[in-house]
């Protein structure tokens, strides 16, 4: 299967986000204070991948949710 533009941009976006967050994560780890994170959009990726992963982290906590559907935000909270 050849890569699509969408999969390429998704991979690059993920790498860029990881690179941008790395210093903040190191600072949060050394200070003992978790890094606050907001989820923007509550689609399949946020609900199926990110939310469960946040429950397993020690250095990151969910502090905000941005969604166009109130019911989804209430359900996640």
pLDDT along the chain (77 residues), means of 10: 80 76 72 82 83 84 87 80
- pLDDT at residue 1 in the model: 66
Please count the other Cβ atoms lying within 10 Å of the Cβ belonging to residue 73: 15
- pLDDT at residue 35 in the model: 82
Question: How far is residue 36 from each of residues 9, 21, 22, 33, 55, measured CA to CA in Å?
Answer: 25, 11, 14, 9, 13
- pLDDT at residue 28 in the model: 66
- pLDDT at residue 37 in the model: 85
What global pTM score does this model have? 0.55
- pLDDT at residue 59 in the model: 80
């Amino acid at each position: 299967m050849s890569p699509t533009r969408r999969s390429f941009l998704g991979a690059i976006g993920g790498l860029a986000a990881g690179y941008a967050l790395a210093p903040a994560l190191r600072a949060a780890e050394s200070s003992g204070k978790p890094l606050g994170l907001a989820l923007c959009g509550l689609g399949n990726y946020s609900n199926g991948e990110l939310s469960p992963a946040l429950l397993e982290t020690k250095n990151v906590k969910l502090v905000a949710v941005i969604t166009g559907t109130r019911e989804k935000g209430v359900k996640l909270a």
